[in-house]
Each structure stands twice: as structure tokens, then as C-alpha cells.
Amino acid sequence: MVLVSGSGSNLQALMDAAADAAFGAEIVAVGADRDGIEGLARARRADLPAFVVKVTDHEGREAWDAALHARIAAHRPDLVVSAGFMKILGPRVLGAFPVVNTHPALLPAFPGAHAVRDALAYGVRVTGCTVHLVDAGVDTGPVIAQQAVAVRDGDDEASLHERIKTVERRLLVDVVGRMVRDGWSVTGRHVRLGGGRPAASGAP
Ligand code: GAR
């Protein structure tokens, strides 16, 4: 199950990978928090079940969290992937499913919604992407994998984000594939991929 808010290029990478049975994962549905995004169009073109649960259609975050939980649960996913989903997930969703997020910076640096802009503004020479388990905080969950991307002279937010996304898509596909095929375990803040535990039993 994949959650999106935007162009869905990470979703596309997961869909492309899942087209090969050896990947070991099937995308059972795509969820979004808004209409009219390319991520939903990609899902519909691939004939994947897709749904939208907007915060503004609910009386507060708690009701939204419950509604999103119900829509996700109907598809009985083993794993939820937040791939450019720009909302903080609530306790109902996080208590029911293991959730993996991809973030366009080397966490704990530059959490939040403007990671690429913030990294450029800070003046770092190296940034990158992080795939991590989601906990109740904002981009604070245990790190699973990271990859560095050099900042080039003359980079702007768009050019740097595009280069990060090229790396990020490969990293996300690799991590999700390994999690569903081989399972994972969490000890404190340390996530270890492998060990043969099925994804369904890896829930926090
Ligand atoms: C990705 O770079 C993802 O890391 C980022 O949004 C982009 C979505 O791209 N997420 C965040 O910034 C979350 N804080 P996509 O819609 O093309 O997959």
C-alpha cells in the first residue's frame, strides 16, 4: 500500500519493480490526501485501487486518522509506504501498520516539508535521502537506509531535488523489496533488514 501527495515518481518506481514477481511485493492500493495529483493518475492508469482521504473532509485530525486507517485496513496491507505523502500520520494508522517513509535529506538533518530548500539554504555540500520507519514524530523514526548526493555549484531546489529523487527511487525500491522478501527487526533505533521475519510480523 503506497500513500502519495504529489507526482508519484517513487510510486511509479515501486509499481515498475512490482511488475516483476521476483520483487516479492504487490501494491494493493494507493491512497492520497488530495485530488488531482499525478500520483493518483499513475495508480489509475495501472488499474490499482486508489482512494483519497482529505483532512478538510473530517472534523479534525483524529477523525481523519480514523478514516484513513479504515481505508488502508480494507486492503489488508503488510506494509504501508509513505512516498511523498505530505501529512503527518496519526496514531490509528501508525498503531496498525508498519510504515516506511522516504525523505529527501540525510536525517536527522533537514526534517519537514522543505528538506531540499533547507539544505540549500544552510549551504551543505552533501545531502541525500533517507528511508526510515515512521514513528509519532516528524521524520524522527529509525533510519533504515541512506544515500548521499553531492550539492553542485549552481544547484537550485528543483535541480538538486531531481538528482536526489533519482537516487531515492532506487533506494526505496531496494529497501521495500528487502523488507517484504526478508523481513526486518528493530532494536532500539537500529533497523536490521533480513532475518526471515515476514513483513506482517514486523509491525512496531
Ligand atoms: C520525494 O522526494 C520525497 O522524499 C518527498 O517528496 C518527494 C515526492 O516525490 N517527501 C518529503 O519531502 C516528505 N517530507 P514523488 O511524488 O515524485 O514520489
- Closest-CA residue, ligand 1 atom 7, reads 84
Compute the distance from residue 65 Cα to the ligand 1 centre, in Å: 21
What ipTM score was computed for the predicted complex, to two decimals? 0.99
For residue 193, give the DSSP letter: E
DSSP 53-80: --GGGSSSHHHHHHHHHHHHHTT--S-E
Task: Go through 72-81 and write b for each residue having 16 or more CB atoms within 10 A of its CB, e for each that does not.
Answer: beeeebbbbb
Compute the distance from residue 7 Cα to the ligand 1 centre, in Å: 8
**The C-alpha cell that represents 107 in the structure block:** 536525517
Residue 38, SS3? helix
HSE, side-chain direction, 13 A CA sphere, residue 203: 11
Q: Is the Cβ atom of 81 under 6 angstroms away from ligand 1?
A: no
Give the global pTM: 0.95
- Closest-CA residue, ligand 1 atom 12, reads 113
pLDDT, one tens digit for every residue, the chain (204 residues): 999 999 999 999 999 999 999 999 999 999 999 999 999 999 999 999 999 999 999 999 999 999 999 999 999 999 999 999 999 999 999 999 999 999 999 999 999 999 999 999 999 999 999 999 999 999 999 999 999 999 999 999 999 999 999 999 999 999 999 999 999 999 999 999 997 655 554 444
Dist. CA 30–CA 65, nearest whole Å: 16
